[in-house]
Structure 1
Amino acid sequence: MTVAVIGGGAMGEAVIAGLVRSGREPADVIVVEQRPERAAELAQRYGVATASEVGAVRAAEAVLLVVKPADLPALAEQLGGQLRDGAVVVSLAAGIPTTAIEQRLPAGTPVVRVMPNTPALIGEGMAALSRGAAVTDDQVAAAMDLLSACGQVVEVPEKQQDAVTALSGSGPAYLFYVADALIEAGVVLGLPRATARQLAVQTLYGAAAMLRETDEHPTLLREQVTSPAGTTAAALRVLDAEAVRAAFVSALAAAAERSAELAAAMAR
């Protein structure tokens, strides 16, 4: 399958790197990037073909749109007469409903909507995929195969994309926020900043790895760390008193609400 990636920014490069890393022939990846210096950089780094015009997508069976949400409606209009028959369009632009893309493309064009996140840059992304009206099971499988080059992929109904955006799309920022708080707390308690950073980062990494590798419920893993009347219990008592769990629920609800507002605005 020949793949066209429109957009050579950070997320576009993450997709390109993932495709090449997973064994796809660089010659089968076409990058459409209007900045000549950026196109040359990607071609040199990954060996992919590059082009400056969207007409290059005529050679592709899958077209990945990795552009800013505000740029997507105009891009979809340009793509209208350029797609080959049966090509699937995969949008990684946050907040754009499949219907908003479909109405700007020829009738019956298969469109897939994806919410990625930034750990895709290191091959540890989490993406949620939703199918448009004309997408077949085989096309969904092909899109999931492409996206799995950057991490894990799950299919969800499109009505759940706002919740996905709030949880995994914005989720890395929450964990960076927690990491920053842990580091600052360590410094306040007398640790050198470099040591506090190392302790916090490896603790977060190790805890996440335990969640994934053991497949245990987080409550059980938390209880294994919490001795009766011990240090962890004392800390958790403060977190509960400060309603940290409720704050996370409220924060994700606010993010989901904002995602819905942006999607509604883009759909108009």
Structure 2
Amino acid sequence: MKISIIGVGNMGSIFAEKLSEKAEKVLLVEKVPEKLERFKRKPFETADVEAAKFSDYIVLAVKPQDASDILDHLKGYTGVLISIVAGLKISKIEEHDIQKVARVMPNVGVRVEEGILAVSFSEKVHSEERESVKSLLENLGLVVEIEEEHFPAITALTGSGPAFVFIMMESFLDAAVKMGLSFEVAKKLVCKLFEGSAKLLFETEEHPAVWKHRVSSPAGTTIEGIVAMERSGVRGGIIESLLISYRRALELEGR
């Protein structure tokens, strides 16, 4: 299997590393030579856009403003184009005579193979190709197939979402230091707290409220903190942050 990565920036380089585990050859197309220094080994090779057209899969990971020019050079490509370009709709790619398209929205978790990757396919991608693409993407995290119309929601929830989670984690860290714990100890505790809580919900498939009530004892410490969170509007603030991000994502897609 031959895979090409066009654009070896932050996200493109991650895709190159992770997808190389399943590819015989990975062609890298990048206009800044310094970004290719770390890839001077097999199965990586430097290439141009024309050479990339002979790959089974192409990952398009360029900036939105550069996408149109690259797509012009890829006109007539018959493999599956995996686009991770923000805001670039499948229909826009199809205008360049590229019929097989997988639009993907990854988030920062892909760096540690714990990402979320939402994917939507053009009609010309048959079922075997869809499964093959999803199998490739699973090297980077959880893969969820969605309708393309839901991409703005995914952008807000899992694209912007990590930033909101980091703010919450930072708040936990500040509180821990205020209570006398060292930053080093607090960081380990807070990271494991969020990881364990998420894993608990993921594996039990229960609603968060179920576990919230299980942790809360009558007149105990937890319920006191929950009441304080409600008074401060924490829940409403988080919801509004996500909805504002969602509305902005809709605007960027011209809706």
TM-score by length of 1: 0.88
SS at match of 2:240: helix
**Contact 2:53/2:74 (<8 A) preserved:** no
Q: 1:261 maps to what in 2? A: 251
SS at match of 1:172: helix
Code of the aligned partner of 1:121: R
Code of the aligned partner of 1:100: K
Q: 1:79 maps to what in 2? A: 74
Q: 1:36 maps to what in 2? A: 33
Q: Pick the aligned partner of 2:88 from 96, 101, 111.
A: 96
Distance 1:229 1:19 in 2: 52
Q: 2:233 maps to what in 1? A: 243
Code of the aligned partner of 1:198: K
Code of the aligned partner of 1:34: K
- Which one is further off, 167-176 or 202-211? 202-211
SS at match of 2:87: coil
Instruction: Determine whether 1:154 maps to 2:141.
Output: no
Instruction: Determine whether 1:19 maps to 2:24.
Output: no
Q: Identity of aligned pairs, percent? A: 32
**Contact 1:33/1:50 (<8 A) preserved:** no
**1:184-263 pair list within 5 angstroms:** 184-263=174-253
Q: Pick the aligned partner of 1:61 from 56, 59, 62.
A: 56
Length, aligned pairs only = 255
Code of the aligned partner of 2:113: G
**1:67-146 pair list within 5 angstroms:** 67-80=62-75, 83=77, 85=78, 87-103=79-95, 105-106=96-97, 109-146=99-136
Code of the aligned partner of 1:35: V
SS at match of 2:102: strand
Distance 1:125 1:144 in 2: 13
Code of the aligned partner of 1:146: L
**1:43-54 pair list within 5 angstroms:** 43-44=40-41, 47-54=42-49
SS at match of 1:50: strand
**Contact 1:5/1:29 (<8 A) preserved:** yes
**Contact 1:128/1:154 (<8 A) preserved:** yes
1:168-227 CA-to-partner distances (Å, cap 9, x unmatched) read: 111111111111111111222232222222221121121122222332222212222111
Code of the aligned partner of 1:248: I
Gaps spanning 5+ residues in structure 2: where?
A: none
**Contact 1:34/1:53 (<8 A) preserved:** no
Shift of 1:75: 1.6
SS at match of 1:152: strand
- Which one is further off, 8-17 or 87-96? 8-17
Shift of 1:35: 2.4
Code of the aligned partner of 2:45: T
**Over the residues paired in the alignment, what is the CA RMSD in angstroms?**
1.8
